[in-house]
Amino acid sequence: MALLHIAEPDKSVAPHQHKRAAGIDLGTTNSLVASVRSGSAGILLDQNGQDMLPSIVHYAEHGQVLVGRDAQPFLDTDPLNTLVSVKRLMGKAFDDLKNASLPYELSAHESGLVQIKTRIGSVNAVQASSEILKKLKARAFDSLGGELSGVVITVPAYFDDAQRQGTKDAARIAGLHVLRLLNEPTAAAIAYGLDSGKKGLIAVYDLGGGTFDISILRLQKGVFEVLATGGNAALGGDDFDAVIVQWIIEQSGITHTLSFVEQQQLRQIACLAKQKLSGQKTANIVHQGLKITLNLSREILNELISVLIGKTLRACKRAVKDAQINLLDIVEVVMVGGSTRIPLVRDKVSAYFQQEVLTSIDPDKVVAIGAAIQADILVGNKPDSEMLLLDVLPLSLGLETMGGLVEKVIPRNSTIPVARAQEFTTFKDGQTAMLIHVLQGEREQVKDCRSLARFELTNIPPMAAGAAHIRVTFQVDADGLLSVTAMEKSSSVQAKIEVKPSYGLSDNEVMQMLQASQTFAEQDMATRMLVEQQVEVRRVLENLNAALQKDGVKLLSEKAYDAIKISMKNLSNIALKNDVKAIKNALKSIDKLTEHYASLRMDASIKQALTGKSVDEI
């Protein structure tokens, strides 16, 4: 049973054509999915009423994959097959991580991409992330009545091409249609409606469980530009817990080494006390086994964590400096992440930026909410007057010309998606090939820019130097991914390259993963679509039959009546075959054919309803 939601004026759609979209915050520690229903954005809950899905994937025996709370218990019992924080590995090469202390057996894929050894074989961050996305997708499906047109997934502002592409690949494997990727700080700003507000500079302070990010955004004509990002990938709420545990140990005079379980318990107690102190002045700390009874006041907590907060403020200072802006020009400060609930964090950040900070939306949910709002706009549920938010290109894109110089084709800060073309010519008489070297950066010389890709345009007909017209087109899609096409105009020979990040996956590899993904998602979906269409056919035929019997002869000409009969017969024949497309088309054509009849019926029944009534009654 599909339940209805309230649409914007004149935005109602035909039955079964609802455009439901979701926003996904694919986090390092926790993930969330949100959607706009009846004009309000909210987090979608799971069967147990939980909003957050811990970003944990456990590869169990017999090929079973557990995600979220189901996977959590295996962190202690089977850590090698239980992956946490895979977001940190997204788009990373093995060489990047050789020295990182991770509890897994890592290896390098032939592409250089890092892989984790588990009992089902080597798994990369894309595959593990896709398991998390599948779980969120199932939740969204159930909550939205089985209709999900697309999703917006958020990524950190500092994610590079490889990391963004990896996130998109994970979504593809999970069978999700990605409307676009959105920067996390931008999503938070959208949740507060800042995109429709005044232009100016916005700071987004994001202190989560394990990471800290500060972003400085500039809003201009509905476009958010990331001016600077900074932070610390290993600083967050967990570190606050650790200093509290240290304090507990010192205060209670424990000298012996604690067992792993005792450490875990103390960490939990510390975390609970920290959370309590956001609302009250003191919290009791009790551990019976270790005979600990202490009282932690907010003053002591503040003392303990002020050094850590100081670190975040220094990162803010650097970001402001990098952005080359004046601190006082920042018009809004958005708070994101559970740790920003701590009063001292709010006070210190507020003092540093010299203004009240935005905290009215739950800091754990604000990013997902912003993504949901953006997704709702992208599938077209909002009036056209509401502007589509765009991103800008962070660096100029260009190609190498003679002498090692860079010719810029798309300048930085162009709004994306964008396509620009420029003409080049041959350098030598009879030159039949041309090397296109794609570069990113602001400098003039090739050696100072970042090389993105090289490809060759061959089979240029021999001509005098300068006679060939070679048109090179750069195209950047809404997610910031680039494709370059080169074409010689007289002969139309063409060459094209999609600029894949250095450690990205090739289409083939993604396809393989798609096939290997054990869910048979595509097959299921195809079957489901077919059955749905066949059901729809039955419904249409039944309704039409009933209607024709009632008043078909009365309202329709013989010719029209016969035409409908024939197309009904046709439709029931097509429905027997397993061709979804054909059924869809047949349904569409019968829908069109009967449109006039339906309105005749409506008029007739209105007439009937009005007969014998005076004008005043209606």
Partner 1 sequence: MAITITEPAAQHVANFLANRGKGIGLRLGVKTSGCSGMAYVLEFVDILNDDDEVFVDKGISIIVDKKSLVYLNGTELDFVKNGLNEGFEFHNPNTNAECGCGESFSV
List of residues contacting partner 1 (CB under 8 A): 1-12, 14-16, 37-40, 44-47, 139, 142-145, 535, 539-540, 542-544, 546-547, 590-592, 594-595, 597-599, 601-602, 605-606, 609-610, 618
Answer yes or no: 423 catalytic: no
Tell me how long the chain is.
Answer: 618
Identify the H or E element spanning 267: helix 260-276
Report residue 27: phi and psi, to 5°: -95, 165
434 alpha-carbon distance from chain centroid: 38
Rounded Cα–Cα distance for residues 554 and 372 (Å): 50
Strands 292-297 and 282-287: antiparallel
Rounded Cα–Cα distance for residues 271 and 245 (Å): 9
Smallest gap, in angstroms, from Cβ of residue 547 to partner 1?
4
Smallest gap, in angstroms, from Cβ of residue 13 to partner 1?
9
Rounded Cα–Cα distance for residues 424 and 470 (Å): 5
Cβ-proximal residues to 473 (8 Å cutoff; 6+ apart), any chain: 419, 420, 421, 484, 485, 486, 487
Answer yes or no: 131 catalytic: no
Write the burial class of residue 474 (CB in 10 Å: 0-12 exposed, 13-18 middle, 19+ buried): buried
Contact 41, 381 (CB under 8 A): no
Judged by beta carbon, residue 145 or residue 411, the one nearer partner 1 is: 145
Judged by beta carbon, residue 143 or residue 232, the one nearer partner 1 is: 143
Smallest gap, in angstroms, from Cβ of residue 176 to partner 1?
18
Smallest gap, in angstroms, from Cβ of residue 605 to partner 1?
6
Smallest gap, in angstroms, from Cβ of residue 173 to partner 1?
23
Judged by beta carbon, residue 436 or residue 537, the one nearer partner 1 is: 537
Cβ-proximal residues to 202 (8 Å cutoff; 6+ apart), any chain: 185, 189, 194, 216, 217, 218, 219, 224, 330, 331, 332, 333, 334
Smallest gap, in angstroms, from Cβ of residue 604 to partner 1?
11
Answer yes or no: 25 catalytic: yes
Catalytic residue among 46, 87, 391, 500: 87
Smallest gap, in angstroms, from Cβ of residue 589 to partner 1?
10
Smallest gap, in angstroms, from Cβ of residue 40 to partner 1?
4
Residue 416: count other Cβ atoms within 10 Å of its Cβ.
Answer: 20
Judged by beta carbon, residue 215 or residue 533, the one nearer partner 1 is: 533
Bridge partners of 204, per DSSP, are 215, 334
Rg (CA), the chain: 30
Catalytic residue among 131, 161, 206, 391: 206
Catalytic residue among 46, 161, 184, 488: 184
CA atoms within a 13 Å half-sphere pointing along the CA-CB vector of 164: 23
Rounded Cα–Cα distance for residues 115 and 132 (Å): 17
- Quote the DSSP letter at residue 32: E
Rounded Cα–Cα distance for residues 112 and 97 (Å): 11
Answer yes or no: 61 catalytic: no
Long-range contacts of 111-116 (CB under 8 A, 24+ apart): 111/503, 111/504, 111/505, 111/506, 111/509, 112/502, 112/503, 113/503, 113/505, 114/89, 116/83, 116/86, 116/89
Smallest gap, in angstroms, from Cβ of residue 9 to partner 1?
5
What are the catalytic residues?
Answer: 25, 87, 184, 206
